[in-house]
Structure 1
Amino acid sequence: MALIKCNNLNMNLSRIILKSSSFKFRNTFLIRFYSTDTSLNELIKERNSRFGVKPSQMLSKPPFAKNLFLGVFDKDVLTYPELLSADQLKLLLDKLEPIEQYFTNEVKSYDIEHKRKISNEIINTLKNFKFFGLKIPKKYDGQGLNATEYARYCEVIGVDSSISLLLLAHQVLGVQSLLRYGSEEQKIKFLPKLASGDWYAAFCFSEEISGSDLAAIQTTAKESEKDGLRTWILNGSKLWVTNASSANIFIVLALTYSKNQFGDQKHVSAFIVERHYPGIIVGKPIDMIGVKGIEMNEVSFKNVQLTESNLLGDEKGGFKMAIDVLNSNRFAFGAVSLGFMKKLYKLVINHVINRKQYVIDLKDCKQIQKHCSEIALRIYALESMIYMTTGLHDCYENYDGSMENAIVKAFSMEEGQKCVDTCLDLLGARGVVEDESYEKFYRDFKCLSIFDGALDFTKLYIAATGLHHATSEYEDIKKYRDPFNNPTFILKRLFSHRRQANDDPSLNLELFLQLHPSLVQS
C-alpha cells in the first residue's frame, strides 16, 4: 500500500491518495479531497476524472468465497470496492431522497396490513419512481441499475415488508429469469411492460411435496404436436406463488421428457405462461402471520397448451436456470433486511432515549447500551457485507458471486432475527401489544426470512457449493485418508505444515501492506 499526502497551503487543499500494490486495475486510486475553498471544485472534478476508480474495461476474477474452500485468500478484497464517484453517489442520493421521504411520510405499514392490500396510490407512485424496472436495461425501458445501486434501492423499500416482497418476487425472480435466459423476442415482448409496472411477473416453483427441492417437482409438460408444431400440455399445481392474483405472466418449472437409448429421460424445463391462457386457476390467498399486504396463492394448470415461444431457455436447462436465478440476487434480500432493521432500530432508540426506569434514564443503563451497541454492530456488519458483495459484482465481468450472495442472505436471516428479538425485549410490554405495531416487525421478518428458501437450506447450499468447488483437491484428500499407502506425501505435509500444527503460523503474508497504516499493529 502506498500512502501519499500532498498539501498545498496556497490552495488550501489536502489530498490523500491510497494505492493498493496488489490491485489489478491500472491507475486505480482511492482519492479524497478536503477543502473549504469552493473555487477548487473544477480542479477536483478534473483530478477525479484522471484518477477515476473505474477501469477502462471490466476484468475477470475467480470467486473469493469459493476459493476460501481451497485455502486461497484474495488480498484484493482488502481494498473495499468503491465503484461510484462522488458525483455518481450524489446523483444516486438525490434520486433516493424524495423516495425515502415518501416511504417515511406517506407509506403507512399498519394501514397496508389492516386493509390487506397495497393501495393503488402507492402502486402508482412506485411506477412513477420506476421501481418495477430497476435492473431491466434501458433498452427495454428499465433503469439499468448496477448491483450497488439496486441494493441501495432495496434498502429503501425495506421499511415496508409487503412492498419489499412484491418487488422482490417481481424483479429478483420473474424479471431476472427473462433477462438471463429469455430470447430477444421474449425480452422485447415482456420486459417493457414489466419495467413500467403495467404487468407483474410471478415465479412458480414450490409444490406441496417438493418444497424447495426442484428435482422433486411433479408438474408436467407433456410434449405433443399440433399442426406440425411442437407443443406441450402443462398440468400441475404450484404453492406459495407471490403476486399470483395480479401476475400477467408466470414463470413455471415443469418436468419434460425426452427419449434416448435407455427410454424416457426426465428434465426440468421453464415456461413463460401468460395469464389469459385457458386452464389457469388461481386459488384463494393463503393467510399468513405477516406481510399481509401481498397475496400468496396456489396456482393450478389444467391442460394449458404451450408452444416453443413459451419455452424459456434450453429445454433441458430449467433446473440450472432456477438455481442460477434464485442465487443471483440473494443480496437483495439482505439489503431489504438492512432497511427493515434500521427502521426498527431507530424506533427502539427513540424509546430508549425517552424512557426512564427507577428514576434512571434507560439510555444510561450499561446493559441497555450493550444491547443497542450489539444491534448497531450487526447492522454495520450486514451493510458492509452487502456493499462488499455488490462491489465485487460491479467491479468484475461475470463475477461468480453466488456464494457471497447466499452468505449475505444467511447472515441477514440469522442476525436479523436476533436484532428483532433484542429490539422487542428492549421495548418490554410494548413489544407484544398489537395496537403498538411493534410486534408486526416480528411477524413480518419471520415471513420475509423464508422467502425463496429456509435458513438451513441456504446454509446447506453454501457448504455443498464450497465442497463442490474444492473437488480439485480431491486427490490430496484421498491421500490424507490413506496415509499408509502415501507415506511420502504425508511426511512432506507434516513438515510443511509443522508451524500450523503447533499453532505458530509464520505470518508471512504481509496483509498489513493491504491495509491503512494505522492498522499495522493490529
Structure 2
Amino acid sequence: MYLRSFFLRNSRNYIFYIQIEMNKIGQLSKFCLRKSPHVRASLCLPSETGSWLCKLPSPVLGSQPVRTIYVEDLPQSETPVIGSPTENRLKDINFPPFIKSLYCGEFNKSVLAYAEVVSFDRYYVLQKQVDQLKKFMEENKEIIDSIEERGVVPEQLIKKLEQFELTGLLVPRKYGGAELLKTEVMRLYQELGQSLTLAELYRINEMMCTRAIVLHGTEEQKQKYLEPISMGQIWTATCIAEKNAGSDPLSIETTGTLKEDGMAYHLKGTKTWVANAIRADLFLVFGQVNCHDYLGNDTINLTAFLVDRNTPGVEISKPYNLTALNGLQVCDVTLDCEVPVSAVLGEPGIGHDVYQSINHDIKLYMGAAIHTRLKTLLDKTIKHCHSRWQYGKKLAEYELINLQIAKCSSYVFALESMLYLTSGLADVGLKPDTELESAVVKEFAAVASDYVTKACMKILGAQTVLADAEWQRYVAESQVLNAWQGTSNVSKCFIGITGILSIIELKGEDIREYQKPKVSLRLAVPHQLNVNREVYKIFPKRYKIDENVHPRLGNIASQVDEASRRLHLMAEMMLKTHGLNIQIHERNLEILADFTMEVYAMICTLSRCSRAYCVGHQHSELEINLAIPFIAESKERTDRIFKDFMHMSNYEGFPDFFYMEAGEYIMKRGNYCPVNPLTKNTY
C-alpha cells in the first residue's frame, strides 16, 4: 500500500491534483470521482500533464482541492510497464533495445517517463543499506584513502565489508545470491565509488567470472562455485588480455589441447593485465581449442575455462605499479597446467559468446563509481571556491567560476541520468539487451571524467601540480579510463558496428537492392526525399517527443528529436553509400559512436529532468537549468558532426581526408617529420 500523485481531467477541462492509494505494486487503479463518475484515471504522460497545466492561469501543484475517490484494480494487461514502481522484473514485457531501435528509425517514447523499477518496499530496504554503507565509508576514510599507496585493498577492510553482503548481488537466490535488480546494484556500486579501486574490485568479482558462470555454467559448476562466491569465500579474476593480442579475443594465443584420453585439457599461455589476480581463488581463462563446427569439420575456436588458483602450473607475477587502480594488484598469470574437461565453461568453442556476454554489458557499472568520484571532486572544488580569496572576494563570487562549476555539474548530472535510465532498461523484461547502451555510457563516463577533471584542476590552481597532492589521483584515474578494459577506439568501433548490424538485420534486403547498378525508383526516391527533407529542413520527419515531456522542455525536446532522427539517417546513408561492409570504414564507425553518445546523453537528461519536474523533486528547477544548456551544447556538437558527415558523403573538403593522408605519411616515415620553420634550403 502506498501513495502516488496524479492529475485528472474531467469533461470541463478542469485539473484535479489527487493522491491515490495503490494496493498492488506496478498496477494502476480505476477511480471514480463522486460527482464525475465518467472520469477514469490513468498514468499521465508528462506531455498530457503539461498541456493541461498550460491552460491554467496559476500553478496547480498544491493549489487544487483534493477530491474523495473510490479505488478499483485494473487488470494487469491495462497497467503501465514504464514509469511505475514494480515488485519484480516484468518478465512479460517485450521491450526492444532502445538505441538499436533508434538506428532503425524507431523511438520508444516510454523511456521519456524515466523508468521506476524499484518498489517502495525495496527502495526503503535499499536506502537503509546505502545509508549504512555511506556511514561505513566515512568512518573508514583513512584506510580507504591509503589503498593506492599500499597497493592492495587491506584484508581487514574486506572483512568489515562482509556485513553489507556485496558479493553475489546478481546471483540467483537458489545459488545463495541476493538476486537484486540491476538498478539496486548500481546504487550500491555508486556508494562504493568513494574509492574507484574498491568499487572495481567488487565489480570485477561480480560481473565477469561470476556472471559468466550464472549465464553459461553447467548446473554442477553453479552448485560448486556460486554459493561460496556469494558468501565471499571465493574471489574471482578474469584472464583475457595477452601481450600480442591486447583485449582482442580473436587474437588470443593461449591454447587448450585435449589430452589423448579425452579427460583433460593442457592450457599453455600467459595472460596480462589480470586484475585481482593476487586475491583470486578462481580464474576465468580464455584459450583457443580444436573443435568441430556444425558440419563436423575441425576448427579452432575460443573456449572458456574455470581454473582453480591451486592448480599445479599456475604462476602469478608481481603486481604492476600503476598510477591509478593500484590496489587491484594487476598481474600476469602464466598457465602451463592441466584442467579436467569439466572445467570448460559451457561447451568447447563458445568462448566468444561467453566473452561477449560479460564484455560490454557490464561496463555500465563502472560508470557508477566514476560518477561518485567526479561528484566528490566537484564538491571539493566548490569548497575550495568558498574558502579561496582572490582580488578581494571569494572565487565563488566570480561569474566565470560559477559558469565552470555549472558546466561540470551538467556533465555529472547527465552521466547519472544515463546510468539509471540504462539500468532501468536492463531491469525491464526477461532478456533485456542493453550492451550498446552500456558501452555508450562507459564512453560518456570517460568524456565526462576528462572534462570535469580538467575544469576542476584549472579552478584549483597550482596546488594540483604537487606530486603528493590528492588531486593527482583524480588526474590519474581520468587518464586510465580511456584504456581500462578496452580502449576508446575499440569501444567506438563496437558501438558503430552494433548499430549498423541492427539496421542490416531489419533492412538488409533493401540495402542490397540499393547497391545494384540500376536502383529501383521505389527505393531511391524515398531515400533521397528523406535526405533532402532533413538537410534543407523541408517538413522533416520527427518523433514528436516534445509532446511527451513537460512543456517547459518542449523547445529543447524538439532539438533532441532532430538529433535522434539524424542518427538513423546517417547510419542508413553510410550503408547505402558504402554497402554492407561498412565495418571496415573505421572513421565512419567513430562518427556514429560519437553521434550516438551525444544523442543518448540528451535523451537520458531530458527524460530525467522532465520526470523530476513533474513529480516535484527537490532541486528540480536546478535540474532543468542544467539540462537545457547541456542539451543545447550537445546538439551543437551533433550539428557539427552531421554537417561534416554530409560533406564527407559528397567528398567535398571534409578535413578527415587530409588528416588521413597526413597520418599515413607520418606513419610511413616513423616519426614527426615537419622541418624547423627556420630551415633554409641550400643548393
User: How far is 1:518 from its partner?
Assistant: 4.3
Q: Hey, which of these two has a bigger chunk of strand by percent?
A: 1
Query: Hey, what's the Cα distance between the residues in 2 that align with 1:190 and 1:166?
Result: 18
Match of 1:477 in 2: 511
Match of 1:239 in 2: 272
Q: Does 1:273 align with 2:287?
A: no
Q: Does 1:441 align with 2:483?
A: no
Query: Hey, what's the Cα distance between the residues in 2 that align with 1:122 and 1:6?
Result: 56
Match of 1:15 in 2: 18
- 2:113 partner amino acid: T
- 1:15 partner amino acid: I
Query: Hey, what's the Cα distance between the residues in 2 that align with 1:284 and 1:520?
Result: 57
User: How far is 1:452 from its partner?
Assistant: 1.6
Counting only pairs closer than 5 Å after superposition, residues 408-427 of structure 1 correspond to structure 2 as 408-427=441-460
Q: Does 1:106 align with 2:140?
A: yes
For 1:423-452, what per-residue CA distance to the aligned partner results, in whole angstroms no more than 9, with x for missing partners?
A: 112111122223331111111333344332
Q: State the secondary structure of the residue aligned to 1:316.
A: coil
How many residue pairs get matched? Answer: 498
For 1:226-270, what per-residue CA distance to the aligned partner results, in whole angstroms no more than 9, with x for missing partners?
A: 3xx432111111000011112111000000003578964110000
Please report the TM-score for the alignment, with normalisation by the length of structure 1: 0.88
Match of 1:53 in 2: 85
Query: RMSD across aligned C-alpha pairs, in angstroms?
Result: 3.1
Please list every run of 5 or more consecutive structure 1 residues that lacks an aligned counterpart in the other structure.
8-12, 18-23, 36-42
Comparing both chains, which one has the higher relative contact order based on Cα–Cα distances under 8 Å and sequence gaps of 6 or more?
1
Match of 2:203 in 1: 168
Deviates more, 1:446-455 or 1:149-158: 446-455
Structure 1 contact 147–390 (Cα < 8 Å) conserved: yes
Cα 1:262–1:390 change in 2 (3 A) is closer
Counting only pairs closer than 5 Å after superposition, residues 213-292 of structure 1 correspond to structure 2 as 213-226=248-261, 229-258=262-291, 264-292=298-326
User: How far is 1:6 from its partner?
Assistant: 8.6
- 2:134 partner amino acid: E
Deviates more, 1:387-396 or 1:106-115: 106-115
Q: State the secondary structure of the residue aligned to 1:4.
A: strand
For 1:42-82, what per-residue CA distance to the aligned partner results, in whole angstroms no more than 9, with x for missing partners?
A: x99x99x9996338653122211112221222122112101
Query: Hey, what's the Cα distance between the residues in 2 that align with 1:318 and 1:163?
Result: 28
Query: Hey, what's the Cα distance between the residues in 2 that align with 1:368 and 1:483?
Result: 59
Q: Does 1:29 align with 2:43?
A: yes
Counting only pairs closer than 5 Å after superposition, residues 122-141 of structure 1 correspond to structure 2 as 122-141=157-176
Cα 1:293–1:488 change in 2 (3 A) is closer
Query: Hey, what's the Cα distance between the residues in 1 that align with 2:179 and 2:317?
Result: 34
Q: State the secondary structure of the residue aligned to 2:274.
A: strand
- 1:335 partner amino acid: A
Match of 2:567 in 1: none
For 1:388-424, what per-residue CA distance to the aligned partner results, in whole angstroms no more than 9, with x for missing partners?
A: 0011111222111110011111110122122112111
Q: Does 1:320 align with 2:323?
A: no
User: How far is 1:189 from its partner?
Assistant: 0.8
Query: Hey, what's the Cα distance between the residues in 2 that align with 1:400 and 1:284?
Result: 38
Cα 1:465–1:264 change in 2 (3 A) is same
Query: Hey, what's the Cα distance between the residues in 1 that align with 2:526 and 2:114?
Result: 37
Structure 1 contact 249–275 (Cα < 8 Å) conserved: yes
Match of 2:223 in 1: 188
For 1:355-378, what per-residue CA distance to the aligned partner results, in whole angstroms no more than 9, with x for missing partners?
A: 111112101112111111111000
Query: Hey, what's the Cα distance between the residues in 2 that align with 1:53 and 1:165?
Result: 29
Structure 1 contact 6–14 (Cα < 8 Å) conserved: no
Q: Which of these residues, 46, 68, 77, is aligned with residue 111 of structure 2?
A: 77
Structure 1 contact 133–171 (Cα < 8 Å) conserved: yes
Structure 1 contact 58–395 (Cα < 8 Å) conserved: no
Match of 2:155 in 1: 120
Q: Which of these residues, 548, 572, 577, is aligned with residue 514 of structure 1?
A: 548
Query: Hey, what's the Cα distance between the residues in 2 that align with 1:495 and 1:407?
Result: 31
User: How far is 1:225 from its partner?
Assistant: 3.4
Please list every run of 5 or more consecutive structure 2 residues that lacks an aligned counterpart in the other structure.
11-15, 21-25, 30-41, 50-60, 63-69, 557-683
Match of 1:146 in 2: 181
Query: Hey, what's the Cα distance between the residues in 1 that align with 2:440 and 2:347?
Result: 29
- 1:29 partner amino acid: L
Query: Hey, what's the Cα distance between the residues in 1 that align with 2:333 and 2:543?
Result: 56
Query: Hey, what's the Cα distance between the residues in 2 that align with 1:355 and 1:475?
Result: 64
Structure 2 contact 291–349 (Cα < 8 Å) conserved: no
User: How far is 1:136 from its partner?
Assistant: 1.9
For 1:138-166, what per-residue CA distance to the aligned partner results, in whole angstroms no more than 9, with x for missing partners?
A: 22222221110011111111110221221
Q: Does 1:294 align with 2:297?
A: no
Cα 1:361–1:267 change in 2 (3 A) is same
User: How far is 1:274 from its partner?
Assistant: 0.5
Match of 2:122 in 1: 88
Cα 1:483–1:70 change in 2 (3 A) is farther
Query: Hey, what's the Cα distance between the residues in 2 that align with 1:314 and 1:239?
Result: 24
Cα 1:271–1:374 change in 2 (3 A) is same
Q: Which of these residues, 432, 436, 439, is aligned with residue 465 of structure 2?
A: 432
Q: Which of these residues, 362, 368, 384, is aligned with residue 401 of structure 2?
A: 368
Query: Hey, what's the Cα distance between the residues in 1 that align with 2:439 and 2:490?
Result: 10
Query: Hey, what's the Cα distance between the residues in 2 that align with 1:230 and 1:30?
Result: 62
Match of 1:40 in 2: none
Please report the TM-score for the alignment, with normalisation by the length of structure 2: 0.68
Q: Which ranges of 4 or more aligned residues in structure 1 deviate by more than 6 Å?
A: 24-28, 260-263
Q: State the secondary structure of the residue aligned to 2:316.
A: strand
Cα 1:238–1:25 change in 2 (3 A) is farther
Query: Hey, what's the Cα distance between the residues in 1 that align with 2:461 and 2:390?
Result: 12
Cα 1:455–1:485 change in 2 (3 A) is closer
Structure 2 contact 237–284 (Cα < 8 Å) conserved: yes
